[in-house]
Amino acid sequence: MSNILEINKIYKQDCLSFLDRLYKEKISPNLIFTDPPYNLSGSDLNLKNNTTGGAFYKVNEAWDTMSEDEYFNFTYQWIKKSFDIQKDGASIYICCSLHNIGEVTMAVKQVGYSIKNIITWAKINPMPSITKRTYTHSSEFIVYAVKGKKWTFNYETLKLINPDKAINGKDRQMRDVWSLPQCQGKERIKDPQTNRAVHSTQKLEELVKRAILGSSNENDLVLDMFMGSGTTAVASKRNKRNFIGCELEDRYITVANNRLAVN
């Protein structure tokens, strides 16, 4: 294995040691967009007769099951290491849900980032409440924070790409509530043999695109240390940004590389 990290590549590595490598090699991402484990797996809720392949696939993964203490320590460590590699003016976006928003926001504040928005992803096609004992879970969140005082924020670009126009057709400011579907249909990568989603938590590319266009410029470097099926890498490439990242599982890296090859 080469000792020098290459840009525009996904490494098979644990996020903590990967962040140490970035620090050592002074590789400093302008933007981090990441979707960490939410620590929501391991419950005994099972969807009987669940044969759907897409977003209605219960998340139940070994990488997503930790004790409360382990999870906070892990979250704190990768967020602290992220802060240490980023320079003033850089941004970080972290996906979360009710399961981990507390840990994420606490760690983000403790290490020294300044939270600018909690973006709500209002899902227009949520999974119904199976237990019928809670409101339908139809939102996730993205904690958007910056390091230092002079962060990149491409206000005009965000106005242009905002689909929510004024009644007279004029562009409007991008709000911090994004009404978007879950990743389904053509965008969802499926196993041709089983027709099931290859990754249980593949994110919608539009979420990443907004962060990339809003908080980075062409040729900037975008990091995702929980790369999964490669959504951050694909969105970076399509929008003329460089990317780098890591992922624990070979099968997801293969999926990500296949996506990159055709994008």
Positions in the binding site for ligand SAM (CB under 6 A): 14-15, 35, 37, 63, 199, 201-203, 225-226, 228-229, 231, 246-249, 252
Residue among 231 and 242 whose Cβ is closer to ligand SAM: 231
99 versus 159: smaller Cβ distance to ligand SAM: 99
Contact 40, 98 (CB under 8 A): no
Q: Which residue is nearest to ligand SAM (CB)?
A: 228
Give every CB contact of residue 231 below 8 A, 6+ residues apart in sequence. Answer: 35, 202, 203, 204, 205, 208
Q: Least separation, in Å, of the C-beta of 235 and ligand SAM? A: 9
DSSP notation for 2-42? -SSPPSSEEEES-HHHHHHHHHHTT---SEEEE----S---
Compute the distance between CA of residue 198 and CA of residue 178 in angstroms, rounded to an integer: 25
Q: Which is nearer to ligand SAM, 90 or 225 (CB)?
A: 225
C-beta closer to ligand SAM: residue 105 or 231: 231
C-alpha dihedral, 71 to 19 to 24 to 239, nearest 10°: -160
Is 220 within 8 Å of 241 (Cβ atoms)? yes
Q: Would you say 27 or 159 has its CB closer to ligand SAM?
A: 27
Tell me the longest C-alpha to C-alpha distance in the chain.
57
d(CA 28, CA 90): 9
Are the CB atoms for 230 and 208 separated by under 8 Å? no
* Shortest separation between residue 160's beta carbon and ligand SAM, angstroms: 25
CB of 85 to ligand SAM, least distance (A): 15
Nearer to ligand SAM, 76 or 159 (CB): 76
Decide the pairing of beta strands 9-12 and 242-247: parallel
Residue 245 Cβ, how far from ligand SAM at the closest point, in Å? 9
CB of 10 to ligand SAM, least distance (A): 10
* Least spacing, CB of residue 167 vs ligand SAM, in Å: 35
35 — phi, psi (to 5°)? -130, 85
